[in-house]
Amino acid sequence: MGFISCKHEGRSTHRLKNNPLEKRFADEWRKINSDMGRGHGTLAYLLADDPNYPMAEVTQRDATVAATVIQWLGSPVGQGFLEDVQERACTSSKKS
């Protein structure tokens, strides 16, 4: 099977106009999920049974859910989540 084009757009695109970091996350995610001559985007590799040979398993729902999560990571709440995880990782590595 070849590349199946999905719209890699989150559910809250109205937020992109006023949230530049969310927009950056969304734009970068969209870029790495374009065909780019490889036949598949990043999400196809992540969801493939065999990531060496993704067979267009990505559905539109898969693409929307993933794009929504990625956009959320660029939001203030998502950034807080990333900072908390990084802080915990640093704290636990210091204890080791």
What pLDDT band is residue 1 in, cutting at 50, 70 and 90?
A: very low
Residue 64 has phi, psi (to 5 degrees) of -70, -45
Res 3 pLDDT > 60: no
Res 65 pLDDT > 90: yes
Res 96 pLDDT > 90: no
What are the CA-CA distances from residue 6 to residues 21, 37, 62, 92 (Å)? Answer: 23, 16, 9, 39
Tens digits of residue pLDDT in 38-56: 668 889 889 888 888 887 6
Q: Which sequence spans correspond to the domains of the chain?
A: 18-95
Residues 6+ apart with CB under 8 A from 57: 44, 47, 48, 49
Res 2 pLDDT > 60: no
What pLDDT band is residue 35 in, cutting at 50, 70 and 90?
A: low
Q: How far apart are CA 63 and CA 32, in angstroms?
A: 12
* DSSP annotation string for 26-55: HHHHHHHTS-TTTTS-HHHHHH-SSTTS--
